Amino acid sequence: MFDMKDKVAIITGAAMGNGWGMAKTFGKAGAQVVMFDISDQVFESAKEFVAQGYKADAYKVDVSDFSSVKKAVDEVAKKFGKIDILVNNAGICRVVPFLELDEKMRDRHTFINIYGVWNCSKAVMPYMVEKKYGKIVNLSSVTGTMVADPGETAYAMSKAGIWGFTKALAREFAEYSINVNMICPGYILTPMAESIAKDSNAGDPASVIKGIGDAVPYENRLGTPEEVGYLAIFLASDEAAYITGQQVVIDGGSTLPETVTVG
């Protein structure tokens, strides 16, 4: 595994799901993991993380609020003297038919999924520029960038917006040896996926998960948060120094078929 010893990595939305999986992979590689999440669960997750022998700190942070983000980032930089890596993972997905989608829910996707990435990047960038070193990994999705299903307009719009931001940021800060890349996960078995399955079929959400898995070409299964973590750790490693402004899909081939029947 890539060596992350002496690296300080902030991971947002780290209390569970993909964020938790990425925190584990970075921790296993020796990084000092800093877990940001809006939920108080982040403190319990960090305790569990430390109990497993990894290095972790936890902060309750609302990524949609720049003042909340900057306060936490400044504390992290003061404590460790640097910030090497930022993984912008925090996000939400609500499946709502377009004609039923109100402005409040639309804006919530924008504030968390886009402004959250903006705010965290804005807060850490001065520290990376000062060191002329940094790795930013943004979590987007195959939804919005490549595919979409009914009810995903707000989510798809917000996730597609991350792609433009990633490319522009990568270009602007390449001269400071700062890499900015984006991961597009497909179907990953997270609490978000389980919640969507429950919304689709409250009586038998497991059948929804199975139906989705059956349509994935690779091993007919959903991916795991740890598998997303392995990709994130590669993009955040020095071995990937010449890769910037790129999107990498991790979906078990789910976007390969021309036609798919799910469920």
CA dist 43 to 51, 74, 84, Å?
12, 19, 22
**Terminal CA-CA length for the chain:** 36
Instruction: Please confirm, yes or no, whether 230 is among the known catalytic residues.
Output: no
Structure tokens at 229: 């973590």
> Catalytic pick from 54, 59, 133, 155?
155
Question: What distance in Å separates the CA atoms of residue 116 and residue 137, rounded to the nearest whole number?
Answer: 13
Question: What distance in Å separates the CA atoms of residue 58 and residue 37, rounded to the nearest whole number?
Answer: 8
Question: What distance in Å separates the CA atoms of residue 253 and residue 244, rounded to the nearest whole number?
Answer: 23
Q: How many of the other CB atoms lie within 10 Å of CB of 106?
A: 17
Instruction: Decide: 70 and 46 in contact? Cβ < 8 Å.
Output: no
Q: Any idea which residues carry the catalytic annotation?
A: 155
